[in-house]
Amino acid sequence: MQPRTLPAFAALSALLSPPLYAQPASEIRPAVDVTFQTEAGKYYQLQTSTNLAGDNWEDVGLAVEGTGESLSELFPVNAQKQFYRVVELQDQWALVWADEFDGDELDLSKWGKEENNYGGGNNEHQHYSVNEKYAYVEDGKLHIAVYRDPYTSNDGKTQPYSSARLRTLQRGDWKYGRFEFSAKVPGGEGIWPAIWMMPSENVYGIWAASGEIDILESKGNYTDRTYGTIHFGESWPNNTYTGTEYYLPEGTFDDGFHTYAIEWWPDRIEWHVDDVKYQTLTKDQWYSAAAPGSETAPFDEYFHLIINVAVNGGFFNGTGQNANNLPDSAFPQVFEVDYARVYQWAE
């Protein structure tokens, strides 16, 4: 279905008035002030074109969710593309949040760094550090690097490895949507990269009563497969989980970048790799002990994103894998993420 174009925005010209204060020419940015009436729950996209005929409209920025009020936004303008319009998106995914990891530093308005020396509750062997050495942006990609750097906290706890864990808590969280990533995993034994989601508030109780959604997990040198899982039920140790692994038809996941995504709906969660849907879990396959009458709990609250690399721990039980077997020359082990994108469904 074609999006509906708001009539008031067939075309808008750039405002090219001179700045009030002198500044270097490279910092001057013409802009257009766009005002449009919205409907609550609908999504709107600003588009630009070099001609009014409308055969080459391109999206500008992210989609905006309507509130029922008139919205005014100040948008940057490409001087060669002087025509603008706003369209109401319908029957499609609307891009509402993204990090393309361009530039040369991590965007701390989107990601917080966690400091933690206690093994993630899973007897892991890494210290999560806020040092830029372990999480940095370079060549248009996020890098999370694991080093054999021991760290001892003030209470005397020592971990033999150092890594990073990033999260969007208090910066971005969502209920339902499509969450998509392009990533390349490391392949060292005992190395555990993951992209996952946790509830921003423990409405149904502490882990895992309020749920957990694992979008990507890679199990060390088992790089021919990836894992998609949910955790739910009751608080630990009475929690449970379900999920499956997906085997790559050719090659391994550490050979290059692959696209990982979930599509999270009120009644189901679907997992995709490179546009192949490999798993669907429905509301009949999860439950909440704290909300026995609910058909959707605990996966009906706001969740935030987490990206990290752990080392060793219970995830590797029965595999014989241990990062201690790796030579020093195998470090750093690096998890690379090319982009992170969040979409909401525009009805």
Active site (catalytic) residues: 212, 217
Q: Is 206 left (phi over 0), alpha (psi -120 to 50) or beta?
A: beta
- Cβ-based burial of 7 (10 A; exposed 0-12, middle 13-18, buried ≥19): exposed
Give the span between the Cα atoms of 29 and 233, in whole angstroms: 52
- Determine the Cα–Cα distance for residues 144 and 314; give it in Å rounded to an integer: 21
* Whole-number Å distance between alpha carbons of 34 and 77: 11
What is the distance between the terminal CA atoms of the chain, rounded to a whole angstrom? 11
CA distances from 167 to 93, 171, 218 (A): 23, 8, 18
CA distance 97 to 176: 13
Widest CA span in the chain: 69
CB 321 within 8 A of CB 313: no
Q: What are phi and psi of 80, to 5 degrees?
A: -85, -5
Per the CB < 8 A criterion, the answer to whether 306 and 166 are in contact is yes
